[in-house]
Structure 1
């Protein structure tokens, strides 16, 4: 296991309420990433893949779209990937397998009424990331998936919408969310953060709900990485926390209200995710 004493020792202490940053998600990639081992770079790549996911969707819809430069791949790379899938070419190892699978599904299903590309790609991304050999990183993605699914389940109930179609994944938690009629979906004893999520889901103000969710995630990251002093896990936590702060610096209440309206509209739509991307 690589030790990054000097890198970690030089990092600033972060708080979710920070109003400005000396580091950003983007310059982490340019300044700290080159010092990592090849094995650890692959772990950090899992984080940056979320930007590639968004970029890929943009380019599938418009080849000339502006992309987020924080991703692992250039627009040219992603367009070549799409063309390779179209032509049935052999897969290149530099791309995660789930991207190939998703592009193939997109090309086949994009015109179908109930196909929601964002949901299908997110499901594939989480499934891929949770297979990571690093236990902490794998557990983070499982935690993140659980939080998203549980909040979606509670909010769906709140608005008297069907829960099952909005749950992504094939874990025990996912199955309980789809099938349980219990107030806590039978997860109260299994997940220590279940009560916290129940309280968060009851909040009507989206900005407040988002902040409480991030605080819960922040605490989980700090608790679970407590004994990882100068390891890649600590750098992974720093990167996740950087992203949270960046998001809050750019988010205001007006944007929060807009997000709330979008979320409710999304929940009211019938969503059906292809079965292969639920597992």
Structure 2
């Protein structure tokens, strides 16, 4: 069994210089990821798959496209995957099943339907991640799916668009958003965070709205892993926060720096062994 206390306690001291992170999700992948069990690496892979998703969309449009190196798969691996699906080869189990499903669906699209590709891939990705077998990580992806769908639906209503065309996924919440005419899509009683999302959607300034969304996610993570001390969930959250801090710094150096120092201080507190483990 992986000793997560040692991993968390052994994370490098993160420092901030010139408004930039000197430790990134790429560093995490090369330094911490190899120490995880195979089972837990598959859970962490779910985070990095979003980079593969973006790369895959680029390569389906242009096989010479420049891709991001932070994903789980190289450009050559993704091109091999695309070729295998085109040729009808049996799936290679090293790739998540949803990638095969998406590429198959993508290749069947008409030119007029290509605009749907990103939403299609998101639907496959979220469904796959929510079926990962880890309660926290599954809930995290469902939480993000709900936020994205609610914000997209509210924007669609504002601009008199068809809400059903912007909603992703086949969950009960997705279906309610897609079909309900109620102000709150019937979600106020079901989702405690609906009203906060509604207020966020009314913020006109885009950077401020993005910050509020991230803070909502931050608070959700804090609550969700409160009793997870030295587990893969805690490692997953550290990774999510690391990426989030980088985004804050790029949006607002001063605010990002402040929040970055907060996460480091909190991390130092978290590596103290809780009383019940002594």
TM range (shorter): 0.7 to 0.9
Cα distance between partner residues in 2 of 1:61 and 1:170: 26
* Superposition deviation, residue 22 in structure 1: 3.8
**5+ residue gaps, structure 1:** 254-279
Residue deviations 1:99-143, cap 9 Å, x none? 111111112215234642111111110011110111110000000
Q: Which residue of the partner structure matches residue 85 of structure 2?
A: 85
Following superposition of structure 1 onto structure 2, how do residues 84-233 of structure 1 map, counting pairs within 5 Å? 84-113=84-113, 115-233=115-233
Cα distance between partner residues in 2 of 1:156 and 1:207: 20
Q: Which residue of the partner structure matches residue 258 of structure 2?
A: none
The question of whether the paired residues in 2 share the 8 Å contact of 1:176 and 1:186 is answered with yes
The question of whether the paired residues in 1 share the 8 Å contact of 2:45 and 2:72 is answered with yes
Cα distance between partner residues in 2 of 1:39 and 1:68: 25
Residue deviations 1:28-87, cap 9 Å, x none? 000100100000000000110000001111111111211111000011100110110111
Q: Which residue of the partner structure matches residue 56 of structure 1?
A: 56
Q: Which residue of the partner structure matches residue 46 of structure 1?
A: 46
Residue deviations 1:153-207, cap 9 Å, x none? 1122222222111111111111111122222111111111111001000111111
Taking a change above 3 Å as real, the CA distance of residues 5 and 166 of structure 1, as seen in their structure-2 partners, is: same
Cα distance between partner residues in 2 of 1:118 and 1:90: 24
**5+ residue gaps, structure 2:** 254-278
Cα distance between partner residues in 2 of 1:227 and 1:110: 49
Cα distance between partner residues in 2 of 1:64 and 1:114: 19
* Superposition deviation, residue 12 in structure 1: 6.9
Q: Which stretch of structure 1 is more off in the superposition, 118-127 or 105-114?
A: 105-114
The TM-score, its normalising length taken from structure 2, stands at 0.85
Match of 2:227, SS? coil
* Superposition deviation, residue 249 in structure 1: 2.3
Cα distance between partner residues in 2 of 1:211 and 1:126: 23
The question of whether the paired residues in 2 share the 8 Å contact of 1:109 and 1:115 is answered with no
The question of whether the paired residues in 1 share the 8 Å contact of 2:2 and 2:35 is answered with no
Cα distance between partner residues in 2 of 1:247 and 1:212: 13
Greater relative CO, 1 or 2 (CA 8 Å, sep 6+): 1
Cα distance between partner residues in 2 of 1:131 and 1:80: 26
